[in-house]
Structure 1
Amino acid sequence: MRPETEGELAEAIRGATGPLAVRGGGTRGIAVAGEALSLAGLSGITLYEPGALTLVAGAGTPLAEVEAALAAEGQRLAFEPMDHRGLMGTAGEPTLGALFAANISGPRRIQVGAARDFLLGVRFVDGAGRVVKNGGRVMKNVTGYDLVKLMAGAHGTLGVLSEVALKVLPRPETEASLRVAVPDAGAAVRLMSQALGSPFDVTGAAYDPAAGAVLVRVEGFADAVAYRLGRLEAQLAAVGESARLEAEASVAVWRAIRDVEAFHGAAGDVWRLSCKPSEAPEVAARIGAEALLYDWGGGLIWALVAPGMDLRARAGRYDGHATLVRADAATFERLGRFQPQPAPLVALAAGLRAKFDPKGILNPGLMG
């Protein structure tokens, strides 16, 4: 099914007699049982006010179209969403609705927040075929249910987004990064914490164990970037040798981190772990991964492991969770995509699904 309007989307869901596999651009390689429900027809920017830093578009709007419109006005999506195609070996085009449905946020999350923090309002169709609107076109505090935040990260299991309103930010004049040599993960996390705790407005902090280097990024006006990077370089000089990456070189290296390019084409399963940065080195050591990449100052770990390995069992107890991102169908069936939740949260999630999707037809089984 490929509805062309919100009304057609509501009609399709109301008339569904079985499961629906909600589909954006198909770039994340997620397979769900059911009849395909494509959002590609709900496409196009319906409102863009650069002066108000506000954009409204259909959920099926290609991300590239949005980014091109923003770039023409010197603006951008500040939360730096990942492009999964290289990692997953998929085609298609990332879409705006799928981005928010999965709350996809990149390296700049540590400074500006997650994708959901820029979502101002949503329109969606729930599992009963009812059109629901929540939020608006300006950031404000409201009473009642915050369905905007609820829909971000629900992966289409509570409702199918038809339109989103979001906040955008100006694009900085330039950026630059420091690459600092470090001896191990413990030193890397300490350095990243030091950089993030500095007054120099760091917008990226990642560690590549294969290169034995931490990367730290600053953005803004050229003079300010040069000054802040110089101060950071002096502050971190005692840790290890450093090198500067200016402008385009910095852009390229952070795109590679954002998209986990080091794992592209590499055999094995890919996991994504969220944890306290202070716990990251110990958790990573227990995993025994073939390759690792740390982002968010150590709060996010990408791990490439042997096919079929139960990373959650290897990781043991820690304050966080692990998501299986890439594997074969049998491994997803055995281990599940998302971290199993405690019984009280399972009951709460089941209650929400019963309320928003009483027939249980929207991406069934995707989130447990």
Structure 2
Amino acid sequence: MTGTIRPRDAKELRQAVEWALGEGVTLDVRGEGSKVALGQPMRCDHVLDLSGVSGIVDYAPEELVVTLRAGTPLREVEALLAQRNQMLAFEPPDLGPLLGQAPGRGTLVGAVMGNLAGSRRLSAGAARDHLLGFSGVNGRGEAFKSGGRVMKNVTGYDLSKVLAGSWGTLAVLDEVSVKVLPAPDQTATLMLLGLEDAAAVRAMCAAMGSPHEVSGAAHLPGRTALRLEGVAPSVEARLKGLRELMADAGAKMEELGTLESRTFWREVRDVAPLNAAPDEIVWKISCPPTEGPATLGRIKAQRPTARAFYDWSGGLIWLALPPSTDADHTLVRGALGVTGGHATLIRAPEAVRAAVPVFQPQSAALVALAVRVKESFDPKTLFNPGRMG
């Protein structure tokens, strides 16, 4: 790369894109760069650093909406919301430490562009479900807006579903409005100890299907965690009902209080259990929850030293494998079987990410659709070229 462009506002951002378009150069779009090692390696001419386009534009706690500029660090947003006992319900993870970066980096817009979400994904939805509106610049140098700052706004196309998960390859945003929710007064976690994977998934699915409003279900080796949140009397009543429901699981039970629970679920959210060996390959596998144990079993049959844990009631598997030149991508994706799913290579050396598909290969029909979307937003491949393959 030959340089860094650091706009200070939306006007300078658009000017930067127009200049790059006119010069025929490509841009590596970054906020704080916490996830730059996620995706296939890019070869860009310049870094477009959005850290200068930062700050809270508007916060309306009564309306449950916060509007901020694209370079605003996630930690600043969360600190602001905490002052009013509110939260980002989709629990955007901090993947920095997993990817070799310092903790506490990253932007909210970066999490949205990756459509990242933590354990509350099952009950609260993904990042895209909380994006109310945004403005930005596409690869044609055109400024555009979508949505608004109210939860009922449905005018026009739902571009949030297109941009969330695009990893900055379609457009550069300068401002977003996001829905927030009240933070729970109390959190409790029921721990089931000693369950094997299949039994743990059955217990998690039963809990999520119960009337006890479980907001998180994860299984780590030897520990199956079920989270309850809300006001104290409700949590206590639901915890009692959940214990009764889980009595037939055949597991010893323990309970975590609010502080212990928040620490535990933050570690699950940030994939901390797989941080111990930074040279390991890390995969994120999504599949039907009931197929999780079989999927992981097929992988462990070939790689018995693999380490893993489940989130999303078994529908999300975080997998760590020994270092290899191909990340065992054929084995991992082949293990999904006929039931479907997708696997994303989250952490691997640059040479490995250059040699294998980082994101799940798509069908011909989806590839054709993605090409048309890309041509509509960024026909010159200006933004993050090659990141998604």
Which TM-score tier does this pair reach, normalised by the shorter chain? over 0.9
Structure 2 matches for 1:66-145, cutoff 5 A? 66-91=77-102, 93-140=105-152, 142=154, 144-145=156-157
Contact 1:324–1:338 at 8 Å: present in 2 too? Answer: yes
User: What amino acid sits opposite 1:313 in the alignment?
Assistant: L
Query: Does the 8 Å CA contact 1:29/1:90 hold for their aligned counterparts?
Result: no
Residue identity in the other structure for 1:322: A
* Contact 1:181/1:213 (8 A) holds in 2: yes
Between 1:166-175 and 1:256-265, the stretch displaced more is 256-265
Q: Aligned pair 1:261/2:272, yes or no?
A: yes
Find 2:162's aligned residue among 150, 169, 174.
150
The residue type paired with residue 61 of structure 2 is P
TM superposition shift of 1:270: 0.3
CA contact (8 A) 1:200 1:228 kept: yes
Question: Any conservation in 1 of the 2:192–2:224 contact (CA below 8 Å)?
Answer: yes
Structure 1: give runs of 5+ residues left out of the alignment.
none
- How much has 1:165 moved relative to structure 2? 0.3
Equivalent pair of 1:23/1:37 in contact (CA under 8 Å) = yes
Match of 1:336 in 2: 357
Instruction: Verify: 1:59 aligned to 2:75, yes or no.
Output: no
Range with bigger deviation, 176-185 or 266-275: 176-185
Can you list the C-alpha shifts for 1:334-363, whole angstroms capped at 9, x where unaligned? 112101111111111111111110111111
Aligned to 2:25: 18
Match of 2:331 in 1: 313
Counterpart of 2:378 (choices 344, 357, 363) is 357
Which string of whole-angstrom CA distances, capped at 9 and with x for unpartnered residues, describes residues 173-229 of structure 1?
1100011024311101100000001101000000002xx121000000111111111
Written as runs of structure 1 = structure 2, the 5 A alignment for 1:194-343 is 194-209=206-221, 212-239=222-249, 240-266=251-277, 267-288=279-300, 290-308=306-324, 309-316=327-334, 317=337, 318-343=339-364
- TM-score, normalization: structure 1? 0.97
Q: Is the 8 A contact 1:287 1:315 kept in 2?
A: no
3-state secondary structure, aligned to 1:146: coil
Q: Are the aligned partners of 2:55 and 2:72 in contact in 1 as well (CA < 8 Å)?
A: yes
TM-score normalized by the length of structure 2: 0.91
What SS is found at the alignment partner of 1:163? strand
Cα distance in 2 between the residues matched to 1:248 and 1:141: 37
Question: Residue by residue, what CA displacement relative to the aligned partner does 1:227-249 show, whole Å, maximum 9, x if unpaired?
Answer: 11111012102211110001101
Count of residues in Structure 1 that have an aligned counterpart in Structure 2: 366
| Secondary structure of 1:333's aligned partner | helix
Unpaired segments of 5 or more residues in structure 2?
none
Distance 1:220 1:169 in 2: 12
Aligned to 2:35: 28
Contact 1:47 1:55 in 2 (8 A): yes
C-alpha RMSD of matched pairs (Å): 1.3
- Counterpart-to-counterpart distance in 1, 2:143 and 2:333: 42
Which deviations, in whole Å up to 9, do the C-alpha atoms of 1:267-302 show, x marking residues without a partner? 310000010001111110111252001000011000
Corresponding residue to 2:175 among 163, 176, 188: 163
